């Protein structure tokens, strides 16, 4: 199965601090996504990318930036973290529009902003 | 904003029973649906996908799609306690670089 690696797995940040969440995939997938999941709820799309150098806003992009410097790496940046951004963040990758039309998820990053 | 609505929010079925979950999109540009399963504390894993009208069966799982109404349903027969999980429906749009949106999920509990 395709491997998606997220780091860190757990992060405690202070309000107003900068946080960078990293995602790496070695499957040569074109599409990458960042979601957040609050306790007991579904996934909400923050940013996504369809290739190196591209980033697109999802449904809840405010307070987040994304960066796709290479095919393998997709980062989520919180410039000024707030307690409302406390959540579990999932990265996913896939090759949509092909026979491999599936998203593969990382293990998640649990972020607490105090 | 593309929306994906799931129902019911939660469902309890007896072991060996049938579970039926529903999902509808409000965006006419949707071209693909998936069903994912997420056990507590884990990441989502794809169960089934569908993009053509009709039905698809894999083992105890059957998925239906009606493209005209943008409605998909997942049916689990002979439900097992290990099927207890959060079931997430996802939909993608080919335009805009394959935006993929998830519903809020159906929490299934299979009681022994």
Average pLDDT over residues B87-101: 87
pLDDT digits (tens, 9 = 90+) for B11-23: 999 999 999 999 9
Per the CB < 8 A criterion, the answer to whether A7 and A22 are in contact is yes
Which of B12-16, B27-31, B79-83 is the least confident region? B27-31
Confirm if A6 and A91 have CB atoms less than 8 A apart.
yes
- pLDDT band at residue B52 under the 50/70/90 scheme: confident
Query: What is the percentage of chain B residues whose pLDDT exceeds 90?
Result: 84
Q: Mean pLDDT, to the nearest integer, of A8-35?
A: 96
- Chain B interface test: which of A25, A40, A43, A66 (most B C-beta within 10 Å): A43
CA distance A82 to chain B (A): 23
Is A100 near chain B, with CB under 8 Å? no
Q: Over chain B, what is the mean pLDDT?
A: 93
Cα→Cα distances B73→A13, A78, B8, B57, B76, Å: 40, 37, 11, 12, 10
Sign of the CA dihedral with A51 first, then A54, A56, and A61 last = positive
Q: What is the residue whose two structure tokens read 């995939």?
A: A25
Helices (H) and strands (E) in chain B, counts: 1, 11
Nearest to B37 by CA among B102, B91, B88, B103: B88
pLDDT given for residue A41 in this prediction? 80
- pLDDT band at A96; cut points 50, 70, 90: confident
Closest by Cα among A100, A114, A97, A113 to A36: A113
- Write down the pLDDT at residue B34: 95
> In chain A, which among 20-79 make CB contacts under 8 A with chain B?
31, 33, 35, 40-45, 48-50, 54, 56, 58-59
Nearest Cα to Cα of residue A94 among A76, A113, A114, A74: A74
Residue B97 has pLDDT above 80, yes or no: no
User: How close is the nearest chain B Cα to the Cα of A74, in Å?
Assistant: 15
Residues A23-80: pLDDT tens digits? 999 999 999 999 999 987 889 999 999 999 999 999 999 999 999 999 999 999 999 9
Contacts of A2 in chain B (CB under 8 A): none
Please give the pLDDT value at position B27: 87
The tokens for B40 are 């507590």
The verdict on B7 touching A (C-beta cutoff 8 Å) is no
Local structure of residue A15 (DSSP, 8 states):
T
Calculate the alpha carbon distances from A47 to A3, A36, A67, A85, B99 in Å.
20, 10, 9, 14, 9
β-pair partners for A33: A48, A92
CA distance B27 to B92: 10
Residues A104-114, mean pLDDT to the nearest whole number? 97
How confident is the model at residue B2, as a pLDDT?
59
């Amino acid at each position: 199965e395709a491997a998606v690696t997220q780091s860190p797995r757990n992060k405690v940040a202070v309000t107003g601090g900068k946080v960078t969440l990293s995602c790496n995939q070695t499957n040569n997938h074109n599409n990458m996504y960042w979601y957040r999941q609050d306790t007991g709820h579904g996934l909400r799309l923050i940013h996504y990318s369809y290739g190196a150098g591209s980033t697109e806003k999802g449904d809840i992009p405010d307070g987040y930036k994304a960066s796709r410097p290479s095919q393998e790496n997709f980062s989520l940046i919180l410039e000024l973290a707030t307690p409302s951004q406390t959540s579990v963040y999932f990265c996913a990758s896939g090759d949509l529009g092909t026979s491999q039309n599936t998203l593969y998820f990382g293990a998640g990053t649990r972020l607490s902003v105090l | 904003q593309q929306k994906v609505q799931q129902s019911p929010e939660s469902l309890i079925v007896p072991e060996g029973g049938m579970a039926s979950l529903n999902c509808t999109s409000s965006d006419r540009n949707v071209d693909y649906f998936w069903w994912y399963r997420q056990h507590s504390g884990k990441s989502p894993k794809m169960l089934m996908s569908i993009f053509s009208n009709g039905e698809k069966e894999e083992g105890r799982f059957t998925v239906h799609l009606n493209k005209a109404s943008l409605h998909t349903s997942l049916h689990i027969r002979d439900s097992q306690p290990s099927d207890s999980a959060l079931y997430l429906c996802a939909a993608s749009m080919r335009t805009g670089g394959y935006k993929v949106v998830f519903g809020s999920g159906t929490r299934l509990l299979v009681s022994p």
